Structure 1
Amino acid sequence: MAEPHAETTAGVEHGAAAPHVEPNFYGLTAPMFIGLAMLVVIAVMIWQKVPGAIGKALDKKIAAIRDQLAEAEALRKEAEALKAEYEAKSAAADGEAAALLDRARHEADALLTKAKDDAEALVARRSRMAEDKIAAEERAAVEQLRATAADAARRAAAQLIAERNDAAADAKLVDAAIGELGRR
């Protein structure tokens, strides 16, 4: 048993490092096995048409992305159209609001002018009514004063007549009035 050990150490000096020998299988080393395995995997992938399947999958993915981009573009255009429509509606609403405000101001001015005119007419009508009432009261007071003056004059005249005329003068007056009536 010492012999095999002697073979391996025969060429090696004492204290020197042994040369490194790579393991192999029928002359194939580990890197060769890796390369061969890679070639087999690539060959199987080509035989099973994996690159075509990958290409088809990528084409499908590209088509899906294109469809999404087209849909996004359509949505963007629709959003821009909606934005333009709402901006137009907003501008129209602003114009209508300004027109309504202007119309409201004109109506308010017209109402204010009409109210002033109506108030002035009412004041004038009330003044006329007051003046007419005052004039009527003045006429009534003048007529009452005349009636009072006439009554006072009648009483004064009756008193004067009574003082100046006695019963004999009255009898003469009555007889003269009756005589005059008889001649007619």
Structure 2
Amino acid sequence: MKKLAILAPATLIAAPAQAASGPFFSLANTDFVVLIAFILFLAVLVYFKVPGMLGKLLDKRATDIQSELDEARTLREEAQALLASYERKSRETQEQADRIVAHAKAEAEQAAVQAREDLKLSIERRLQAAESQIASAEASAIKDVRDRAAAVAVAAAREVVAEQMSAEDRNRLIDDLIATVGAKLH
């Protein structure tokens, strides 16, 4: 058994070499049998028009690939045109935004200048109103002082005259003083 186990792999290894020995056009030659089987396989393929079907499938696949490439090329061109359009719109929008910002800055500067001028005019008006109020208060105070001085002078004169003069002289003097004070005050 040991001998068979050792010989079995050796016989399997040598079997193709032994089968190929001898005349080539013999059914005992495996190379010839494989060649005939391959030729029959090719004949069956040709009979059932498999190469034509494979050609049609390959042509269809090539046509599909070409149409997909054309569609991809068209989509790429559309995408490039769309990208260019968006870039142009982006530039236009940026330019418009820049113009708006510049206009807003100019308006802000103009508003600041106008506000400064308005503030200056308001301060001048308030100063004039304050000066006018001061002058009015001063005039009123002077008038009050004059009126009070006149009243005090009249009262003092009355007392002095009442003590030193007769009734007739008093009346004449009072009338003269009242006329004089009235003329000076008005």
Please indicate, yes or no, whether the TM-score normalized by the shorter chain is above 0.5.
yes
> Counterpart in 2 of 1:45?
45
The structural deviation recorded for 1:159 is 1.3
Change in 2 beyond 3 A, CA 1:127/1:87: same
Instruction: Report the equivalent of 2:184.
Output: none
Conserved? CA contact 2:45–2:51, under 8 Å? yes
Q: Rate the CA distance shift 1:173–1:24 in 2: closer, same or farther, 3 A.
A: closer
1:152 shift after superposition = 1.1
Do residues 170 (structure 1) and 170 (structure 2) align? no
CA offsets 1:101-135 (integer angstroms, 9 cap, x no match): 11011011011001101100110010010001001
Shift of 1:64: 1.1
Give the aligned partner of residue 87 of structure 1. 87
Q: Distance in 2 between matches of 1:45 and 1:88?
A: 60
TM-score by length of structure 1 reads 0.76
> 1:7 aligns to what?
none
C-alpha RMSD of matched pairs (Å): 2.1
Contact residue 24 and residue 30 of structure 1 kept, 8 A:
no
Aligned pairs, number: 152
Q: Quickly say closer, same or farther: Cα 1:122–1:143, change in 2 above 3 A.
A: same
C-alpha contact (below 8 Å) 1:45/1:51 kept by paired residues: yes
In structure 2, the residue matched to 1:109 is 109
Which SS does the other structure have where 1:113 is aligned? helix
Q: When the two structures are superposed, what TM-score results if normalisation uses the length of structure 2?
A: 0.76
2:148 maps to amino acid: T
**What's the counterpart of residue 26 of structure 2?**
27
Using the TM superposition, give the Cα deviation of residue 32 of structure 1 relative to its aligned residue in structure 2, in angstroms. Answer: 1.1
Distance 1:160 1:65 in 2: 137
Secondary structure at the counterpart of residue 27 of structure 1: coil
Partner AA of 2:26 in structure 1: G
Stretches of structure 1 that go unaligned for 5 or more consecutive residues are 1-19, 175-184
Q: CA deviation at 1:48?
A: 0.6
Q: What amino acid is aligned across from residue 103 of structure 1 in structure 2?
A: H
Whole-angstrom distance in 2 between the partners of 1:171 and 1:145: 31
Q: Secondary structure at the match of 1:102?
A: helix
Q: What residue ranges of structure 2 are gaps of 5+ in the alignment?
A: 1-17, 172-186
Q: Relative contact order, CA 8 A, sep 6+: which one is greater? A: 2
- In terms of mean alpha carbon deviation, does 27-36 or 135-144 score higher? 27-36
Cα–Cα, structure 1 residues 163 and 35, in superposed 2: closer, same or farther, change >3 Å? same
Structure 1 residues 26 and 87: CA distance shift in structure 2, 3 A: closer
Alignment-derived partner of residue 120 in structure 2? 120
Match of 1:154 in 2: 154
Q: 1:140 to 1:62 in 2, by over 3 A?
A: same
* Structure 2: distance between partners of 1:72 and 1:173: 130
Letter in 2 for 1:81: A
What's the offset of the Cα at 1:55?
0.3
Report the counterpart of residue 55 of structure 1 in structure 2.
Answer: 55
Q: Does 1:76 align with 2:76?
A: yes
Q: What corresponds to 1:144 in structure 2?
A: 144
Q: Which has the higher Rg, Structure 1 or Structure 2?
A: 1
Worse-superposed segment, 25-34 or 146-155 = 25-34
CA–CA separation in structure 1 for the residues paired with 2:70 and 2:87: 25
| Aligned-pair CA distance for 1:25 | 10
